[in-house]
Amino acid sequence: MDVKVISNPTVSVRLTSTLSSFEVNRRFNRGITIAEFKSKLELVIGCPAASMDLQLFSTSDKFLQNMEDNEALLGSYPVDDDCRIHVIDRSGTLSGAFSDLSKVEKYELSDDAYEKRTDSVRNFKKNMKMGRFNEENMAKREEELAQKEEEEKAALASITVGKRCQVQVAGQPTKIGTVMFAGTTDFKPGYWVGVKYDEPLGKHDGSVGGKRYFECEQKYGAFVKPLTVMVGDFPEEDYGLDEM
């Protein structure tokens, strides 16, 4: 009795490359040429077919041979299911020729040209009177900010450096400390109060943005808004440090 062996016309291979650390699995027809095979790999690997060198590895990742003949059929090589084909890119991508964004010409649009566009986000906000394009809301917001600033200025007048104080910020526990600074700063507009807490509940040592406003231990200093500060007789708590 004659036995006829029919090989599978397609083969499933694992693909790796010098462009990525990831491995992908694809099925190909054994009857295509290596040149055609490389063309299909362009979409998978991401480098030009003409810049590819192919290496064939066994299912156990043992190197078998280079696949150099572009006219040869894929099936003429010992390509079995689950073997690995490694793609070496010679196009220069590894040196950053295609990944260096500084070399990519950027599209730039002047503010005047953007202002004239009718399909922009800015134009949409104008039509819908959103954000800064809602004059009524902006005027109301500026009025509220000015009023709050006046309230903070008035509160600051009663806060003197050296006074004991209590700080109550929304969402945080009440903290006790000493006023070390009162006035304006370089890091943010408005009025601020620098406090040295009795415990390490602050954020710094009295220095912010490279400028020193007062002296204290690290994590004992903080800046808070005047309306959160109440000065008064707030004695430092005795934590029993002098007891045996």
Q: What is the pLDDT of residue 217?
A: 96
Query: Rounded to 10 degrees, what is the CA torsion of 37, 41, 43, 47?
Result: -120
Residue appearing with tokens 């903070």: 152
pLDDT of residue 44: 87
Note the pLDDT of residue 45.
86
C-alpha span between 13 and 197 (Å, rounded) = 66
Q: Which residues contact residue 92 at a Cβ distance below 8 angstroms, ignoring those fewer than 6 apart? A: 98
Closest by Cα among 114, 29, 37 to 68: 37
Q: What is the pLDDT of residue 2?
A: 45
- Residue 164 forms beta bridges with which residues? 178
Structural domains of the chain ordered from first start: 10-92 (3.10.20.90), 164-231 (2.30.30.190)
> Splitting the chain (244 residues) into consecutive groups of 10 residues, what average pLDDT does each group show?
58 91 90 93 88 92 93 92 92 56 66 82 79 80 88 93 94 94 93 96 94 96 96 77 48
pLDDT for 96: 47
Q: What is the pLDDT of residue 244?
A: 44
* Whether the predicted model's global pTM rises above the 0.75 cut: no
pLDDT, residue 91, reads 80
